[in-house]
Chains A and B, each alone.
Chain A
Amino acid sequence: MEVGPGKFLLTRVDDAARWAQSSSVWPLTMGLACCAIEMMSVTDPHFDIARLGSEVFRSSPRQADLMIVSGRVAWKMAPVIKRIYDQMADPKWVISMGACASSGGVFDNYAIVQGVDTIIPVDVYVPGCPPTPDGLLHGITLIQQQIREGGRGGFLARS
C-alpha cells in the first residue's frame, strides 16, 4: 500500500483482502486437553488475543477460519476432528498446539494419534507442553504472516 501525491490510498484488491483477512482470523472453540486451558488463557487480560483480532472464538465450524488443535488427539476423537475440519469453510488454517498434537508428545502409546498432521494438514506447529499463551500468540501471528504473503491458504492462493 502507498499514499499517492493527491492523498490517494493505492492498493491492490489482493493486498486489501489479505490485510482484512489476516486481521480477523477467527478460531474455532475446540478444546481437547491441557492446551485448551492455555488457549482460553490467551483471551484473558494478561495476554488479550483481541489485539490480533482473533478474540472471536466461534463454536460453529462454519464460521471459523482457524482450528487450534489444543491437546492430545485420541483415536476415538480423530474422526471427529477430521469431520469438523471438513465442515470448516475455505480458506482455513490449522495450528497444532503443543507436543501431543504435533507428535504424540510423551504419550507414545496405543491411544494417541502420533501427530494430528497424519489426519489433517497443519500450517503452524507451536511447541511446548503446554505452550505458553505467548507461544500460541506467536503461532497466530505466523498464520497472519502467511496470509499477508499469500502463502498456503491465503486469499485466492489455495488450490
Chain B
Amino acid sequence: MSLSTAPLTPEIVSQEGNSMVLSMGPQHPSTHGVLQLVLEIEGESVVRADPEIGYLHTGIEKTAENLFWSQAQTVIERMDYLAPESNSLCYVLGVERLLGIGDRIPKRAQRIRVLFGELTRIASHCVWLGTHSLDLGAMSVFFYTFDLRENILDLQEAVGGARMHPNYLRVGGCNGDLPEGFLDTFDALLQKFPGRMRDLRGLLQANPIFQDRTIGIARLSLEDAISWGVTGPSLRASGLAYDVRRAFPYSGYEGYEFDVPTRTEGDAYARFLVRLDEMEQAHRILKQVRGQLEEPGPVMIDDTKVAAPPKETIALSMEALIHHFKIVSEGFRVPPGDVYQAVESPRGELGYYIVSDGGNRPYRVRTRPPSLYNLQAIKGIAPGNLIADLVVSIGSLDPVFGEVDR
C-alpha cells in the first residue's frame, strides 16, 4: 500500500446549519489509544457517534498460526497489553483442554495462575483509574495508581524478566517456581494495598467535581448491555452479576471466597465504583492465595511430551535429552479438535476459540476480545451527552486497542 492512496482522516467533514460532522482521533489524548470517532454534533451535544477502529490492526491471530503452540503465546500476550496474564492464561487453558491435560496441572501452578490473574487485574484497573481521572483533570490520582502498578510490575519482572509481558504461564504449568524474595515483595504489596485504596477512594469517591462529571453520564441500560454483548465491570455496573470466574470456574477459582460487585445505575460513576470494589475483591483473593503458597510442590506437569524435562536431568538421561531437543526444535503436537475457553479478564469475558489440525502450530486462534464488544456500546451511550462527556464515556468503558484491533 502506498501512503498517498491511503485515506487521510477528515477534520470537518460537513457542516449544515447548527449540525456538524466532526472527526475525533485517532490521535487524541482521551481516546485511550487509536480510536477514531466520527461525531455528528448539534451545537455542543452529540447526536451520533460512530467508532472507527482498525488503526492498530496487528494481524496477531494470523501471526499466531505461523508459530509453535508455545511461541504463539508471545504474540497473544501482546493483545491486551494491560492484562498480559489474562491473555496467556486463557490461551494456555484452551490448549491444555485440547491436549486433555487440564486436570493434571499441579496445584501450585494453578495457585500461581490465580495469583497473577488477580495481580494483573489490579494493575490494569490502576492504569484505567489513572488515565480516566487524568481525562477528568485529576492529576494526582495518576501518580498514586501508577506507583501501585510499578510494585506489581516488579513482581512480574521477578518471575519473567520483563516488566509488561513476562510470558511466565506456560502450557502445563508455569515457567519455574517463584524466585527467592518474591513472597516478601508480595507481602509488602498486600500490606500497602488497603491504605492506597483508601487514598484513591478519598480522592475521588465523594469528590463533588468527579461526581458531577460521572453521575448520570453515559448511562447503559441492562437490556442494551446484554444486546451489545457487553461483559465485565461495564455489565455488572448495569445490574447483572455475570462473572466467568463464578459462572465457568477455571484454575480453582471455585475454591476462593470473593464477591461479584454489582450496581444498578449503569452510569460512569457506577462503573467506577464496581472497578474499585473489584480491586478490593482481587486483594481478598490474593490474601487467600498467599496462605496457600507456603505449601511447596511442582509447578510444571510431569509429561515430557508437553513440557521439557528439568535441565539437570539432561546430562544424566538419554530420554530426557531427546525430549528436550524435540520440545525445543519442533514444539509439541496437539490432537485435532476445537475448543472455546473463556476467562474473566479485567475488561470482561475474554475468550479464545482454538482449532488444531494435529500439527505443532495452531490452525486458528480466534479471539473474543471484551474491549471490542464493550466499545460497541459507545454508539448507544454517547448520544445525548455533551462533547466534554465523551471522554468520560470512552474512559468508563475501558477499551484497550491492542485487543480491539488485534
Contacts and interface: CB of A to CB of B under 8 A. Distances in A.
A140 interface: no
A44 B126 CA distance: 12
A107 B61 CA distance: 11
Nearest to B163: A132
Contacts of A34: 78, 81, 164-165, 402
Contacts of A79: 3, 6-8
Contact of A109 (B59, B81, B143, B147): B59
Contacts of A31: 33-34
A24 B149 CA distance: 28
B322 interface: no
B81 A110 contact: no
Nearest to A112: B58
Interface stretch (A11-19, A80-88, A150-158): A80-88
Main secondary structure of the interface of A (DSSP, over half): loop
Nearest to A83: B8
Contacts of A106: 63, 74-75, 78
B150 interface: yes
B62 A110 contact: yes
Interface string A66-104: 000001101111111011100000000000000000000
A76 B54 contact: yes
B26 interface: yes
Contacts of B78: 33-34, 106
A72 B56 contact: yes
Given A79-B6, A106-B75, A33 B146 contact: no
A142 interface: no
A119 interface: yes
A130 interface: yes
A30 interface: yes
B146 A45 contact: yes
A36 B150 CA distance: 15
A45 B57 contact: no
Contact of A45 (B34, B143, B402): B143
A38 B8 contact: no
Interface in B1-56: 1, 3, 6-9, 26-29, 33-34, 54-56
Contacts of B405: 74
Contact of B146 (A44, A57, A78, A119): A44
B59 A38 contact: no
B83 to A, nearest CB: 11
Nearest to B401: A33
Interface residues of A, number: 41
A75 to B, nearest CB: 5
Contact of A44 (B1, B26, B34, B150): B150
B393 to A, nearest CB: 19
Contacts of A7: none
Interface string A14-47: 0000000000000001111110111011011110
Contacts of B33: 31-32, 36
Contacts of B81: 33-34, 37
A52 interface: no
B56 A130 contact: no
A63 interface: no
A59 B58 CA distance: 25
B82 A77 contact: no
Contacts of A45: 143, 146-147
Nearest to A31: B33
Contacts of A41: 146, 149-150
Given A32-B56, A80-B27, A75 B163 contact: no
B139 to A, nearest CB: 10
Interface string A113-154: 000000100000000011010000000000000000000000
B127 interface: yes
Interface string B132-145: 00000000001100
Contact of B63 (A46, A76, A109, A119): A109
Contacts of B60: 107
Nearest to A38: B164
A76 B147 contact: no
A76 B57 contact: yes
B9 A80 contact: yes
Contacts of A83: 8-9
Given A40-B127, A45-B143, A46-B150, 9 more contacts: A29-B29, A34-B164, A37-B164, A40-B146, A45-B146, A72-B58, A75-B1, A76-B55, A107-B63
Interface of B: 1, 3, 6-9, 26-29, 33-34, 54-60, 62-63, 74-75, 78, 81-82, 127, 130-131, 142-143, 146-147, 149-150, 162-165, 401-402, 405
15 contacts: A32-B34, A33-B58, A34-B165, A34-B402, A36-B33, A38-B163, A44-B143, A44-B150, A46-B150, A78-B6, A80-B8, A83-B9, A108-B63, A111-B59, A129-B162
